[in-house]
Amino acid sequence: MDNKSKIKRETWSGRFDFFLTSLGYAVGLGAIWRFPYLCYKYGGGAFLIPYFVFLFLVGIPLVFLEMAIGQFTSTGPMTCWSMVSIFRGIGFSVNIVNNYVNIYFTMILAYSMYYLIMSMNTELPWQYCNPKWIAKNCVDNRNRMNLTLLSCTDDLKCNDGLCYSSLTSTGSLASCDLNKTQLIEKGFWNLAYPSEIFWKEVLLQKSSSIDESGYIVWQLLVALTVAWLVITASVINGIKVSGKVVYFTSIFPYFVLLVLGIRGWMLEGAAEGIKFYIYPDFSKLTNLKVWVEAAAQIFFTLSISYGGLSALASYNDYKTNILRDSILVSIANCATSVFAGFVVFSYIGYLSKITGEDIDQVVQAGQGLAFVVYPFAVTTIKGSPIWSVLFFLMMLILGLDSSMGSVETFITSIFDLFPKFKKNRLRRYLSILTLIGIYFGLGILFCLQSGSYWIEIFDTYVGNWTVFLLGALESISIGWFYGFNNFRKDLSTMLGTKITDSIFFNIFRILWCFLTPVIVLFLMVVSILNYKVIESNGNKFPYWTFIVGNLITFSSLIGVVFWPIYLIITRVYIKKQPFRSLFKPDKNWRPLKDENKIMVDLAHGRLEKPSYYENQNLEFIENF
């Protein structure tokens, strides 16, 4: 009996702990602010075709694979990808990706927390154009007029929404950087809701570009501090506590989403908004970018190649029906995204109706959808603070669920790699607090006036083509090198031969060995070919951000690049082992518990006689 089998590991204490934790981890803010916009932008209802194609050809196979490997080994992503030596670097790379997410995602959680607190007033602070931070192009219910917007094609467009003459009052060439007293106003080319000005000028105090770092915005720092304190309290005592928290945090957002949906569907213009959301434009399907975005959203919304699915499944009982849970979590997750679109676009349709603007002028992507469009929409509804509280409470809980899972993933990986760090409660606490302290320190970058630009950089370059590559390598490691038949024998000890020997299960042979890796590698190539500098609201980021973004991207591949190099040096050149040995299945890749190891050896035909495992209770073999 090896030392590994002596290590005690926590397990979920409740029947639904794992399912709800996985669901909460995967169903995040992307369902609210990312999917509806992508669906609208890339063909409406037609976008659902590639989305669900990739759900079944890529999403479910990889979710099942990651969860099954975590449950089989009872270890997290840092150590579970060792079935073939050369592929162990996958675990290092997915942890790097996950750490990047932990660094910046908590800031978005902090935004939601700030808005939730500010919503607890009799009047929402972004309801009207406040004289303290008002802009000339601010428009609300009190000052809305039939303003004629200029195209401003031959004149000077500035970010304040005003159109200026191309020449100054002195006849020189005009520039937005000049003092406004020198510029000649010609009218408006763009209007701004008070929620947009509140978002940029009050909360973010946003600088004019990423080149201007500015100072630390105190309310962002306070919100980030509170967000990390909440996450710390949720994860520091392990899954026994966090596994119970999710009974509220995973279910309550669905209740809130339904309530917000019922209210939204009753609003004037809601039907028109929903029409824009689902109306199919099949011509978009001829654009490869639509297919790439659909696949990227599947990876993003199901958290594939981020390590969390393996980490959470590693706390399962060995006999948990992981195939059932992986299918249910995947389908429930994607269904939530689709449902959220019906809710979000009902409010966008309503906002379009009351402002008289076209829907494509109202809708915004990402943070703008969550912190600008919806906040202003509720200001025009009776009882607006209540609806605002509900929305941001939902956002907070969705973000908290995902953050808890992401942080727990790296904690699991560290403790699996260095078990001494969790030897007693004091060591565990110190290790977790040190890790969170590092996350917090790095997150201060996003509290600067330029912080929102950095969030866009991380959001763009962290989860792009690298997760495609990692997903493909996961399939290749099992399907091509470890061997589907070997893995099916392993899974038979968890799921039973009735499932693994069925005709249905052979579908995974086709997926893991061929379809999934080929599709994902093709999408990766297309994604790389379309790589370019970030463009936000018509403004391109400086080229140096493209370089920094690529450094972030390529740093995620350190594991899958440098681990093989390390093995070649240490095993092939120093120990003189054959190069092909790096690609052979590792017979020591087995479950944590001895009784489960015996079942695996029986399934593989490696157990010749009971004395092979001395002093073991073999009564369970009869049941197997």
Element (H, E) at 518: helix 516-529
CA distance 302 to 306: 9
For 246-275, the three-class secondary structure string (H helix, E strand, C coil) is: HHHHCCHHHHHHHHHHHHHHCCCCHHHHHH
398 is in an annotated binding site: yes
User: Which residue's structure tokens are 């400086």?
Assistant: 542
Distances from the Cα of 339 to the Cα of 32, 329, 335, 359, angstroms:
9, 15, 6, 19
Element (H, E) at 310: helix 308-313
Q: Are 124 and 378 in contact (CB under 8 A)?
A: yes
Residues whose CB falls within 8 Å of the CB of residue 151, separated by 6 or more in sequence, listed in order? 189
The region, left, alpha or beta by phi > 0 then psi within -120 to 50, assigned to residue 127 is: alpha
Query: 77: closest CA among 59, 99, 57?
Result: 99
Tokens of 64: 């099942």
402 is in an annotated binding site: yes
Tokens of 301: 């919304």
CA angle, 106 as apex, 102 and 109 as ends, to 5°? Answer: 145
Distances from the Cα of 48 to the Cα of 34, 38, 198, 295, 453, angstroms:
14, 10, 34, 11, 30
The region, left, alpha or beta by phi > 0 then psi within -120 to 50, assigned to residue 119 is: alpha
CA distance 103 to 420: 25
Query: 312: closest CA among 545, 76, 112?
Result: 76
CA distance 248 to 173: 60
Tokens of 404: 């808890």
24 is in an annotated binding site: yes
For the beta carbon of residue 222, count every other beta carbon within 10 angstroms: 14
405 is in an annotated binding site: no
For 102-116, the three-class secondary structure string (H helix, E strand, C coil) is: HHHHHHHHHHHHHHH
Collapsing DSSP to helix, strand or coil, 278 comes out as helix
Residues whose CB falls within 8 Å of the CB of residue 499, separated by 6 or more in sequence, listed in order? 323, 491, 492, 505
Length, in residues, of the chain: 624
Q: Are 166 and 174 in contact (CB under 8 A)?
A: yes
CA distance 90 to 87: 6
CA distance 242 to 460: 29
Sequence letter at residue 94: V
Q: Residue 518, class by beta-carbon neighbours within 10 Å (0-12 exposed, 13-18 middle, 19+ buried)?
A: middle
CA atoms within 13 A on the CB side of 97: 34
27 is in an annotated binding site: yes
Q: Are 475 and 518 in contact (CB under 8 A)?
A: no
Binding-site sequence positions: 24, 26-27, 333, 398, 401-402
Binding-site sequence positions for Na(+): 24, 26-27, 333, 398, 401-402
